[in-house]
């Protein structure tokens, strides 16, 4: 079951990229005492993620960050890929989270099996808002190529003004 409104973000350690390479980062450190927007994508550099989903958040990152402490993107990729994608997308305002083993993805109930396309376990396309680690909004897009419930515009509609 995917995480729902009212659920607490599970405490999982994943990776981000630091100045000296991959670094551990815990979800408790990301979410505790903060308002956070997290969006998950099936994969860095994939067409829908690179052409639609990420660009929306890049263009409106300043509007989101006026209302939250952290804007983060997660994918089942390694930290080096996430850093390269961050640079490619000009997404420096977004905290890039590498869930290479899909541990957070599974803990959130957001995994999908893309083995038929030789892509293994991936994340569903989703976005959520959490206040001090408790989910206040979650939107999951299940139709291929559709970015609606997880779009930056939808997230902005669900953030307090």
| pLDDT value, residue 118 | 74
Residue 49 bears catalytic tag:
yes
Q: Return the residue matching tokens 């293994």.
A: 120
| pLDDT value, residue 106 | 97
| pLDDT value, residue 119 | 76
| pLDDT value, residue 33 | 98
- What is the pTM for the complete model shown? 0.95
| pLDDT value, residue 122 | 85
| pLDDT value, residue 87 | 97
Going 99 to 104 to 106 to 108, the CA torsion angle's sign is negative
Helix or strand holding residue 23 (H, E): strand 21-26
- Say what the alpha-carbon torsion angle 112, 106, 35, 23 is, to the nearest 10 degrees: -110
Active-site annotation holder among 30, 37, 49, 61: 49
| pLDDT value, residue 83 | 96
| pLDDT value, residue 144 | 83
Low-confidence ranges of the chain (pLDDT < 70): none
């Amino acid at each position: 079951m995917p995480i729902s409104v009212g659920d607490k973000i599970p405490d999982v350690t994943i990776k981000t990229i630091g100045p000296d390479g991959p670094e551990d980062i815990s979800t408790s450190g990301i979410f505790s005492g903060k308002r956070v927007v997290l969006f998950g994508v099936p994969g860095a550099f994939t067409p829908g993620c690179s052409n639609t989903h990420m660009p929306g958040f890049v263009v409106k990152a300043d509007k989101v960050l006026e209302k939250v402490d952290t804007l983060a993107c997660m994918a089942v990729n390694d930290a080096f890929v996430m850093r390269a994608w961050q640079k490619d997308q000009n997404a420096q305002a977004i905290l890039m989270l590498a869930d290479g083993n899909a541990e957070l993805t599974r803990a959130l109930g957001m995994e999908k099996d893309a083995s038929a396309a030789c892509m293994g376990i991936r994340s569903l396309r989703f976005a959520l808002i959490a206040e001090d680690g408790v989910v206040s909004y979650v939107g999951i897009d299940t139709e291929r190529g559709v970015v609606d419930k997880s779009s930056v515009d939808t997230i902005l509609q669900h953030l307090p003004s």
